[in-house]
Every structure is written in structure tokens, then in C-alpha cells.
């Protein structure tokens, strides 16, 4: 069992430098943060440590820069927002493990917070070479006396600031990671029935693994978004220019057959909103799902399907939703996502929304976070957990212990 945050704090963190891995990967337009959900979710762990008198050193990534500094991916705007949410200025280091980091961390008073520049500006962070990654992790570890893993969105990544550093410092699990895992456990171990899973979005092959694992657990699976068309094709329908993963058709057929055998309902849309080209709102129109014209592409589930899906969610006691039902970024293709979100707000039980785009979608459509049971900060991480995979950033903490206090 890994150490939790309270246990670490009880070891005495006052005056100690605690490195916190948070997931502050927020959407930016220029330097404007368009959804600060991940920063908000990271605040409680950082604040608990600061309140206990620790010198808190936050390490995080933004986007996928190529292992070298790239101003477009600077965390500087995030430091400002984090400071606003904490109610105290956050010292920002303009590098991750260089002179600026040393001097900022060295200058921290007890209870103060610093944020290091984007950890992915260093090739060692994401290197596939264990030695190179460990060397970079050692540079990070040199900045701190203890480590707290709180970036749930990255616990499925075997990266230096998530995995290797936990082997070098007394390490504990942060409260955000603990909460996320608790909720996901409820989805996999003893879900209250009926249990409905809604899957959409565009990363089709990423999500098929979850279907494999959840088929035996859920009562109903509702399919939306870009996933729809691989299913329709598997059933022998034409899908025009819609998103299609040809190499997954056989896998999908297998799921459809297994679902029928074990009595799990897989719902597919009966109508679809199509357009002549991607995002062409002017040409949006509703067609039957089995009659998608060859020259058009499906960008949302249709109104009849939206109603069917909302009805299928009625009375559910457990719901997991990952991936928007359509290209919600544009009003003409947002209604399917809105209908599912609306239905989720009426669930008398546990509703979990996972995935960066799904969370952004519900906020963009005007829903409030507290209308849902839990909004996960990790899309890929929650999917991998539900697939039954071992998450490196979680597993490594089970090996880490604090022996004899923090010294
Ligand atoms: N029918 C569709 N065709 C293409 N893209 C779609 C379709 N439906 C939804 N999308 C897109 O899927 C994206 C989100 O997918 P994904 O990243 O898988 O979700 P999440 O981040 O919630 O896991 C959105 O940008 C949305 O526009
Ligand atoms: O945005 C994230 O994941 P998500 O899109 O799966 O929710 C995390 O910050 C992880 O980022 P990564 O997928 O670049 O490792």
C-alpha cells in the first residue's frame, strides 16, 4: 500500500521541500486558459502541503513539446492562475532543473509554492531509455526531500516526473489521485445496477479496450461520436466519408456478437447528423443511420437517437461517460452531447465523466461541474484503469515507503 498525503504530512513536512507532480495540462488560446478545471483540481493537495509548512515545488507538463523549450507551451500563464486560486503568489522557475529552478526553490519560505517550467522541455522526461529517464529524475529529485504524485491525468505514463522520481524520494499519493482511484474502483468492483456506459469521441481504437473489459460488467453500452461508424460498417452499412477505423471492424463485430451472447445491450444511433465536409454547419442535416450518403460524413447522433439514449440512461444507478457524441465544438453538431449531458444530470446514483474533451464539452454547453457525480481529470488514465491495465505512476508508489520520517 502506498502512503497517503495525510500520512506524509504526519511525518513532518514543515520546512521540507516537497515535489508535487500535478497535471496542469489545460487548454490555452494564446496565453489565455480556456478551462482551468485541472488547475482547480490540483489545488487541495498543494494547499494542504503549504498549510503544513512545506516548501511546495510543483512539476507539470503542458501539451506535447518535443523535449526542448518551446514558448508556446510555457507554464507561465498557469503559474499566475494557480496563484490566484491559492490566494498567494506562485514563484515561477523559467527552467525545470536548471539555475532558475535551483534559485527559485532555494529561495522558498516555509508554506510557499513554486512551479517549475514545463517538464517536457527536457528530453529525459519522456525518454524511452530507462537510464536517460532516471538521470533526469535524479536532477528533479535533487530539488526536493519528498515526492507527492497527484497528476492523475498522467499516472498511465512511465515518465521521469511520474514514475522514476518516486523511486528516488520518500513518496506518497496525493488526494486527487486517491479520489480518482476511489471513484473508478466503484465503477469496476461493485457498480450499482443498472450500469450504463456511454462512449464517444474520436479516439476509436483507444476506447475499444474499455468495451472489451466493460462488456461483462455493464448492462448497456451507448455508442456515439466517431465510434459510431466503425460499428455501423461492421453491421454492413455504408458510412460515407465518416471517421472509420477499418482495421477495427472485426474487433467490433466480435464485441457485437459477445454482447448478444451475454445479454448486454449495445445501442447504436438510428439517425445521424451529417454534413458535406468536416465542420460544414450550413450543410448539416439528419439522415437515417443506415442511409448515410456516400459523399457526406456523420458528425453527431441524430435527434431520435439522442432521445433514445436519454431514455436508456433513465433510472441508471451507475454511469460512466467518455467522449462527446458529436463535434460539440460547433452548435450544429452539439445536440447529441447536450442530450446525454442533460440525462446525466438527473442520475440518482454515481455518474462519472472522464476525458479532457468530455469535461470541456459539458462546461462549454453550460453545465456546472456539481451537476455530475464526478468529473475525472484524466481521460487516457481513467480508460486504462477501466481496461484493467497497471498504471505505472500508481504501481511505483506501492513500492515506495517513508522509512524513519523525512530526515
Ligand atoms: N462523428 C465524429 N467525427 C469526428 N470527430 C468527432 C465525432 N464526434 C466527436 N468527435 C470529436 O471527438 C473529439 C473528442 O474525442 P476524444 O479525444 O476521444 O474525447 P475525450 O478527450 O473526452 O476522451 C472532439 O473534439 C469531437 O469534436
Ligand atoms: O491531457 C491528458 O490526458 P487526456 O487527454 O487523456 O485526458 C494528460 O495531461 C496527459 O497528457 P498526454 O496524453 O500528453 O501524456
DSSP letter for each residue of 185-208 = HHHHSSPPSSEEEEE-SS-HHHHH
- Please tell me which residue in 81, 133, 203, 241 is annotated as part of the active site: 203
Nearest ligand 2 atom to the CA of 61 is 9
- Express each pLDDT in 247-272 by its tens digit: 999 999 999 999 999 999 999 999 99
Give dist(CA 81, CA 71) in Å, integer: 18
- Express each pLDDT in 6-39 by its tens digit: 999 999 999 999 999 999 999 899 999 988 999 9
Structural domains of the chain, ranges and CATH numbers in brackets: 3-177+390-399 (3.40.50.1260), 193-348 (3.40.50.1260)
- Express each pLDDT in 317-337 by its tens digit: 999 999 999 999 999 999 999
Strands 55-59 and 17-21: parallel
With 70 as the cut, is the pLDDT of residue 151 above it? yes
What pLDDT does 407 receive? 64
| C-alpha distances out from residue 125 to 121, 135, 272, 326, Å | 8, 9, 43, 34
Reply yes or no on whether 38 is catalytic. Answer: yes
Mean confidence (pLDDT) of the chain: 95
Nearest ligand 1 atom to the CA of 242 is 3
Does the beta carbon of 65 lie inside 6 Å of ligand 2?
Answer: no
Does the beta carbon of 120 lie inside 6 Å of ligand 2?
Answer: no
Tell me which ligand sits closest to the C-alpha of residue 361. 1
Does the beta carbon of 336 lie inside 6 Å of ligand 2?
Answer: no
Does the structure's ipTM exceed the value 0.90?
Answer: yes
- Please tell me which residue in 354, 356, 378, 379 is annotated as part of the active site: 356
Tell me the binding residues for ATP. Answer: 207, 298, 329, 355-358
- Please tell me which residue in 225, 240, 354, 380 is annotated as part of the active site: 380
0.90 cut: is pTM over it?
Answer: no
Q: What is the mean pLDDT of residues 143-170?
A: 98
Amino acid at each position: 500500500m502506498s502512503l497517503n498525503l495525510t500520512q506524509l504530512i504526519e511525518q513532518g513536512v514543515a520546512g521540507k521541500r516537497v515535489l508535487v507532480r500535478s497535471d496542469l495540462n489545460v487548454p490555452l488560446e494564446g496565453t489565455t486558459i480556456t478551462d482551468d478545471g485541472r488547475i482547480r483540481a490540483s489545488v487541495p493537495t498543494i494547499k494542504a502541503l503549504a498549510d503544513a509548512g512545506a516548501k511546495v515545488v510543483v512539476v507539470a507538463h503542458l501539451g506535447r513539446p518535443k523535449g526542448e523549450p518551446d514558448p508556446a507551451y510555457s507554464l507561465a500563464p498557469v503559474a499566475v492562475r494557480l496563484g490566484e486560486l491559492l490566494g498567494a503568489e506562485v514563484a515561477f522557475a523559467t527552467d525545470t532543473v536548471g539555475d532558475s529552478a535551483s534559485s527559485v526553490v532555494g529561495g522558498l519560505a516555509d508554506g510557499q509554492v513554486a512551479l517549475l517550467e514545463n517538464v517536457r522541455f527536457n528530453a529525459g522526461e519522456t525518454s524511452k531509455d530507462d537510464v536517460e529517464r532516471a538521470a533526469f529524475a535524479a536532477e528533479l529529485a535533487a530539488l526536493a526531500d519528498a515526492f507527492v504524485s497527484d497528476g492523475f491525468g498522467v499516472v498511465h505514463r512511465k515518465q521521469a516526473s511520474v514514475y522514476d522520481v518516486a523511486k528516488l524520494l520518500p513518496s506518497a499519493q496525493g488526494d486527487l489521485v486517491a479520489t480518482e482511484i476511489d471513484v473508478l474502483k466503484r465503477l469496476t468492483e461493485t457498480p450499482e445496477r443498472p450500469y450504463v456506459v456511454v462512449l464517444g469521441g474520436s479516439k476509436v481504437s483507444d476506447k475499444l479496450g474499455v468495451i472489451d473489459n466493460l462488456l461483462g460488467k455493464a448492462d448497456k453500452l451507448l455508442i456515439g461520436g466517431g465510434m459510431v461508424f466503425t460499428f455501423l460498417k461492421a453491421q454492413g452499412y455504408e458510412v460515407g466519408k465518416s471517421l472509420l477505423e477499418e482495421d477495427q471492424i472485426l474487433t467490433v463485430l466480435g464485441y457485437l456478437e459477445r454482447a448478444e451472447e451475454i445479454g448486454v445491450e449495445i445501442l447504436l444511433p438510428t439517425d445521424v447528423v451529417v454534413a458535406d465536409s468536416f465542420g460544414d454547419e450550413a450543410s448539416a442535416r439528419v439522415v437515417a443511420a443506415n442511409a448515410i450518403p456516400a459523399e457526406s460524413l456523420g458528425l453527431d447522433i441524430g435527434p431520435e437517437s439522442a432521445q433514445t439514449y436519454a431514455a436508456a440512461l433513465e433510472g441508471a444507478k451507475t454511469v460512466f461517460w467518455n467522449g462527446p457524441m458529436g463535434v460539440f465544438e460547433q452548435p450544429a453538431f452539439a445536440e447529441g452531447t447536450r442530450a446525454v449531458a442533460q440525462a446525466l444530470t438527473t442520475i440518482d446514483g454515481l455518474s462519472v465523466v472522464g476525458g479532457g474533451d468530455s469535461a470541456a464539452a459539458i462546461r462549454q454547453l453550460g453545465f456546472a461541474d456539481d451537476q455530475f457525480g464526478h468529473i475525472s481529470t484524466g481521460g487516457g488514465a481513467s480508460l486504462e484503469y477501466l481496461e484493467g491495465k497497471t498504471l505505472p505512476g500508481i504501481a511505483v508508489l506501492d513500492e515506495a515507503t517513508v522509512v524513519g520520517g523525512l530526515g
